[in-house]
Amino acid sequence: MLSGAFGIIGFSWSACPVSTDLEIIMLDWLGKMLQLPQDFLFSSNGKGGGVIQGSASESTLLALICAREKAISSFQAIDKGWSRSMIMNKLVYYASTEAHSSVEKAGLLSGLTCHLLPTDAAFSLEGDVLQAAIDKDRTQGKIPFFVVGTLGSTNSCAFDNIEKLGEVCKKENLWFHIDAAYAGAACICPEFRYLLNGVEYADSFILCPSKWMLVNYDCCAMWIKDREDIVKPCYITPAYLNEDVQEQTVDYRHISLAHEFENLVRNDHRFEIALPVVLGVVCFRLKGSDTQNEEMLRVIRERGNIALKSSRIRSLYIIRFVVCGKDTESEDILFAWREICLAANKILNSKDE
Ligand code: PLP
């Protein structure tokens, strides 16, 4: 709600550190309200923590893909002869027939096989049913790797026996994901907290504040016991992320301001435009060496008045000037240009010396 109201552009930590910090703090607040195990809280200084996802469906898909990657790498660590596709064909995961359709859909999207298991009279999935399914699949050469337990199913508001499912997952070394999209918020009330007994077995746990907490859809709170498990499989390092920063490369606003900046660059013989400017991104550089450009950027950053990022196109080092803020005006562009020129003067003069 705050980022909507303030128009925060929070696509990376450095674009708006306060929104990351606020997310960390608020997910810890929510985690504490739910009395989640310390493992899920940032404040425990462990490996876990919370993160906001769009929807419950998205969170389940993310957990499934990360569990898949974890299973593949641990399998390959034992036997290098196994290819990804050989392992993928054998992977199976489980949920109850009452689980939300997004659980099965996550399998369709990620190319994995889902086994929906029968429930008891109360529409609850029990540990012995899961254990029997795992045993059967293992004898057939399958590789069980992931289980979704539901707390408060969509159709019947049924609760799987997460204590028993958790015990089986621990014994069998499977990723245990708990979908409490709807019911989770109720567990803040002390009289319903018992419904979360067994959450300590989970590797990932979700609830949707958009259900009962007066938060706009989409909003899904997800807690992970080991952040590395979701960061590692999703990590890519294109050049524009080389400083641990994620930026958007296309911007539909303030395009004319970007061209104003482009003209300033073109009119200074010391600089060059590296790529045609189409929207709000201007890729430019000093005509000198990469080292000079790196040095210039270092000076700009040290002054701390404007934020610029570097990248590479093919092997060419470039600096990216991106106009994003809705209140940006021509005088801001001139201000930025003066900062750049100051840094350039410093670098080029020191070269002359
Ligand atoms: N899981 C459960 C238990 C649900 O009740 C729902 C939606 O009602 C979902 C998942 C899907 O939620 P979303 O629309 O946030 O993907």
Q: Provide the pLDDT for residue 246.
A: 43
Does residue 183 contact residue 157 with C-beta atoms inside 8 Å? Answer: yes
DSSP 148: E
Task: Write out the two tokens for 97.
Answer: 């027939």
In a shared domain, residues 33 and 124: yes
Same domain, 39 and 121: yes
Q: Which of 211, 231, 251 is the last residue of a domain?
A: 231
Atom of ligand 1 minimally distant from the CA of 180: 3
SS3 label, residue 15: coil
pLDDT at 247: 41
Contacts for 5 with CB less than 8 Å, ≥ 6 apart: none
The reply to whether 225 falls in a domain is yes
Tell me: do 114 and 165 sit in the same domain.
Answer: yes
- Hey, whose CA ends up nearest to atom 5 of ligand 1? 154
Residue at which a domain ends, from 188, 212, 231: 231
SS3 category, 183: coil
Residue 318 in contact with residue 312, Cβ under 8 Å? yes
Judge if 92 and 176 occupy the same domain.
Answer: yes
Contact between residue 203 and residue 177 where contact means Cβ atoms under 8 Å apart:
yes
203 with 273, same domain: the answer is no
pLDDT reported for residue 318: 95
Do 284 and 200 share a structural domain?
no
Q: Looking at residue 249, what is its pLDDT? A: 30
Q: Does residue 107 fall inside a structural domain? A: yes
DSSP-assigned letters across all residues of 218-279: S-EEEEES-THHHHTTT----GGGTTS----S---S-HHHHHHHHHHHHTSTTEEE-S---S
Atom of ligand 1 nearest to the CA of 220: 15
Residue 104 belongs to a domain: yes
In a domain, 353, yes or no: no
Q: 243 and 227 in one domain?
A: no
Q: What is the mean pLDDT of each run of 10 residues along the chain (353 residues)?
A: 79 80 94 97 94 95 97 91 94 98 97 97 97 98 98 93 98 98 94 96 96 88 93 73 43 72 97 90 94 96 93 91 84 97 92 50
C-alpha span between 183 and 212 (Å, rounded): 9
Per the CB < 8 A criterion, the answer to whether 225 and 63 are in contact is no
Question: Within 10 Å of residue 258's Cβ, how many Cβ atoms?
Answer: 21
Cβ of residue 182 lying under 6 Å from some atom of ligand 1: yes
User: Are 223 and 264 part of one and the same domain?
Assistant: no
**End-of-domain residue from the set 231, 248, 273:** 231
138 lies in the same domain as 248: no
57 CB less than 6 Å from ligand 1?
yes
Outline where the chain has alpha helix (H): 2-6, 17-33, 56-78, 84-90, 101-110, 127-139, 162-172, 209-212, 228-231, 255-266, 290-303, 330-352
Query: 254: domain range?
Result: 239-348
If one counts the domains in the chain, the total is 2
Q: Is 154 in the pocket of ligand 1 (CB under 6 A)?
A: yes
The pLDDT of residue 252: 29
170 with 298, same domain?
no
Centre of ligand 1 to C-alpha 101, Å, is 8
Separation CA 145–CA 152 (nearest Å): 23
Taking the centre of ligand 1 as the mean of its atom positions, its distance from the CA of residue 211, in whole angstroms, is: 9
Give 186's contacts (C-beta < 8 A, 6+ positions apart).
152, 192, 195, 212
For residues 125 and 119, is the Cβ–Cβ distance under 8 A? Answer: yes
Distances (CA, A) of 286 to 84, 171, 175, 230, 278: 45, 59, 50, 39, 20
The alpha carbon of 62 and the centre of ligand 1 are apart by a number of angstroms equal to 14
Say if residue 176 is in the same domain as residue 219.
yes
Same domain, 226 and 260: no
Q: What is the spatial distance between Cα 154 and Cα 28, in angstroms, rounded to a whole number? A: 26
Q: The domain spanning residue 78 has which CATH number?
A: 3.40.640.10
181, part of any domain: yes
At 188 the pLDDT is: 95
Do 92 and 127 contact (CB within 8 A), yes or no? no
Is 309:15 a contact under the CB 8 Å cutoff?
A: no
CATH of the domain at 273: 3.90.1150.10
